[in-house]
Amino acid sequence: MSRDALLVLSDGAAFEGEAVGHVPESGAATGEVVFNTALSGYQEILTDPSYAGQMITFTYPHIGNYGVNPDDLESRRPFCAGVLVRDLARRPSNWRATESLDEFLRRHRVPGIAGIDTRRLTRHLRQAGALPGAFGTDESVVRAAASAAATTDGRDLVAGVTTEQPYTAGDPDAMFHVVAYDFGIKATILRHLAGVGCFVEVVPASTPAADVLARGPDGVFLSNGPGDPAAVAGAADTVAGLLGEVPVFGICLGHQILGLALGAQTFKLRFGHHGANHPVRHESTGRVEITSQNHNYAVDLDTLRGAAVTHVNLNDGVVEGFRVLDAPAFGVQYHPEAGPGPHDASYLFDSFTNLMAGAAMTEAG
């Protein structure tokens, strides 16, 4: 039996719907409300740890129609604070499905609200920017929770998603040995690194640079992750200690932390980049890549020193990639592993292996 529910944003805007998924013990789910414009891939989006602290609004109206399966998980569980949809499919239809999306949300204790006007909500967020909010079945509880809900600003959300113990991925006899910082790493990234000949050791976000260098890697990867890059404890100083010592490649939050390590500043975008159709221009070739993105923060171009911009977002001019001038290191803001192009940006993993191969030749010479 459906239960009426209400979503309230911190500015008082309200949206009616019905409760789905897990019912929070507090009576209200809270988080920063953002919207994602992708037409498919809802399971990968929900299990991307970069959404920790946020409630995801899907702009595509029908969500859950092909169900959920264990092969498409990007992490051990969803870390998002809630899910907001127009129409939640009750009966999934796909031979790969092992459960419905509603069952998946219940099993992982993720609250949801369906039946809301996601078009009106998205237009509101585009005007007002990403806002904290709350939803639940008790209006008084929800309104009180919405007024107290926190944004992602100044919060180290990486500490809640990173692995507690190191683990490995790929063939131990692979050509390259990479240490990957887990700021909220996605399984597909590990598959791509393994696919280009990397054996990957994944380490917790708090691992000191000296410990990483002691492992003797050919390169270091800085993963995606949630929240405010400037709030990730010690990350920028750690990466600064790696620059010049070993080739470095950063994606999304890793790209932002690499910028901070160079002394740049980061800032919060009005409503972020969340979707699978963002056009990015590769500056050296003029080629436009259709990219998948999920971030609320970006590197401030005016404060970026010692680096050359390599990629630019064609929607708003935000820095989407840069390379360090005096060290073998580069980063991109978007997700080349997600491939909505579908292969527009996959060359970046080859760029990383080429960088490691070049460093090895320099050492040998």
124, 198, 252, 274: the active-site residue: 252
How much is the pLDDT for 362?
63
Please give the pLDDT value at position 189.
97
320 by Cβ neighbours in 10 Å (0-12 / 13-18 / 19+) ranks as: buried
255 classed as catalytic = no
Query: Could you tell me which CATH number the domain at 158-364 has?
Result: 3.40.50.880
| The model's pTM | 0.96
What's the rounded Cα separation, in Å, for the pair 310 and 8? Answer: 40
pLDDT of residue 97: 96
pLDDT at residue number 342: 79
**pLDDT tens across 16-36, in order?**
999 999 988 889 999 999 999
The letter for the amino acid at 224 is N
The Cα–Cα gap between 97 and 65 comes to 10
Residue 345: what pLDDT?
Answer: 87
pLDDT for the residue 1: 53
pLDDT value at residue 25: 85
Give yes or no: 289 in active site.
Answer: no
H or E stretch at 158: none
pLDDT given for residue 131 in this prediction: 97
Active-site position among 74, 201, 320, 337: 337
Q: Phi and psi (nearest 5°) for 187?
A: -60, -35
Low-confidence residues in the chain, pLDDT < 50: 365
4-148 placed in CATH 3.40.50.720: no
Burial class (CB in 10 A: 0-12, 13-18, 19+), 180: buried
pLDDT at 363: 61
Active site residue 252: yes
Domain residue spans in the chain?
4-148, 158-364
pLDDT at 359: 75
In the sheet where 198-204 sits, what is the strand order?
A: 167-169, 198-204, 176-182, 219-222, 248-251, 329-332, 319-324, 307-313, 266-282, 288-299
Chain position carrying tokens 């498409």: 72
Q: Is 6 within 8 Å of 119 (Cβ atoms)?
A: no
Q: Which residues contact 286 (CB under 8 A, 6 or more apart)?
A: none
